[in-house]
Structure 1
């Protein structure tokens, strides 16, 4: 039987794989929230935006491929693919939300879950490291 810390580490590995994949496809405003203390059944939310529905679909495909390749886990359920304004990828312990920019602003999950600590993604995001190094 696995303990909670092992499960949380596995959840974080999935978050990292999803974030790196989304970043590689130029996702905007990548955020991960640790919602484990607030929800109990979900450890993390990953939130990303695309500029158009084609990019949203590309992000979803890339995230699914990366999580399968790096953690051997695919989503249990994916919703919203047809409309591609808000796609929810449910991995059980991690939920990935990929939005169109305007849909993300409307639902404002970061504000709704403002009590959840943000996960420091600087170690897994190449673009974030490059921006810090250049002083941007």
Structure 2
């Protein structure tokens, strides 16, 4: 076990600050999920209730192939547009619940069964919630649009 004065092992991932604001990464994740036809895309705003992340983005894939495509689509899109890769990622082998941790934003891609079983929306029921309409994208999420406008001085 490392003490406060002991540096982390070289194999331990280093938690680094994101280069982009959380709302921007969230918007890109939503757009990538929508492009890969994820269903039931939801944004949970955790900023006022948790310190672990600012936003969760949840989406569902209908098969292993689609879950992989959604997760890869999110990673590719965020890397291409924002220059960021996930700090951590889990579930890319089993493809039932893939987690992509971008520090301020955590993306969850579920199978229908795992999403119903874990019911993250209920667990984080105190969070503000934005449902992305079918065939929608980040431009349909008022919270993200308001944060973007405020950041650019157009609020």
After TM superposition, the score normalised by the length of structure 1 is 0.81
**Take 1:94 and 1:16, find their aligned partners in 2: how far apart are those partners?**
10
Structure 2: distance between partners of 1:83 and 1:16: 26
Unaligned 5+ residue runs, structure 1?
1-6
Pairing 1:17–2:42 present: no
Alignment of 1:107-122 (within 5 A): 107-119=118-130, 121=132
Q: In 1, are the aligned partners of 2:34 and 2:136 still within 8 Å (CA)?
A: no
Name the counterpart of 2:79: 68
- Structure 2: give runs of 5+ residues left out of the alignment: 1-17, 141-155
Counterpart of 2:8 in structure 1 is none
Match of 1:3 in 2: none
Deviation at 1:41, TM superposition (A): 3.1
**Secondary structure of the equivalent of 2:71?**
helix
Q: Which has the larger radius of gyration?
A: 2
Q: Which is richer in helix?
A: 1
Q: Is the aligned partner of 1:42 residue 2:53?
A: yes
SS at match of 1:96: strand
Q: Is structure 2 residue 130 aligned with structure 1 residue 104? A: no
**Per-residue deviation, residues 8-50 of structure 1 (Å, max 9, x unmatched):** x811110010110110110000001001111123100000000
State the TM-score, normalizing by the size of structure 2.
Answer: 0.72
Distance 2:131 2:97 in 1: 24
Map 1:20-31; keep pairs closer than 5 Å: 20-31=31-42
Quote the residue 2:15 is aligned against.
none
CA RMSD of aligned residues (A): 2.0
CA distance in 1, matches of 2:23, 2:120: 20
